Amino acid sequence: MTNRLLSIALAGITVVAMAGCVATAPRARYDDGYYQRRAAYDCSNCGVIRDVGRVYVRENSTSGGGAVLGAIIGGVLGSTVGHGNGRTATTVVGAVAGGFAGNAIERNENGRAGDREAWQFHVKLDDGRWATVTQWNNDGLRPGDHVMIRENRLMRLR
């Protein structure tokens, strides 16, 4: 029973650790005129860029390495504390606690050095409202360009 519980706990930790390694799919960009045709019919979020500036955005993403390393260290330390059936429980608790701690430490370290450059656009919409859009790429946009805001991104209109 003890080996089975340990196997289940290790399998669970492995699944959680591997979930942190999954890469997100890149966003597709389509420049086939779809947005140009759409703007002709629905341009409630169209306007002119008035101001462009660089900003730095803090990324709180982690690679999962901190969680894995923390889980390993916590599991080893937890296994030295208990005796008999209690050893398995302290190993599991130590691995889980170490995983959380390692992930938090990695997030803090990435937060300090992980500021990423982005672009912030101030857009005066055609109906008189103002909008601010922050995105990673400039895409050659500059003040005076007529744009459409789509999914919190700017698309240049011709």
Sequence spans of domains, the chain: 43-59+116-158, 60-113
Dihedral sign computed on CA atoms, order 144, 146, 150, 155? negative
Residue (of 122, 125, 120) closest to 46 by Cα position: 125
Tokens 């938090």 belong to residue: 104
Write out pLDDT tens, residues 81-92. Answer: 767 777 777 777
* 67 confidence band (pLDDT: 50, 70, 90): confident
Which CATH code is given to the segment(s) 43-59+116-158? 2.40.50
Tens-digit pLDDT profile for residues 98-153: 777 777 777 666 555 557 788 899 999 988 889 999 988 888 899 999 999 888 88
- Give percent of the chain with pLDDT exceeding 90: 15
pTM of the model: 0.46
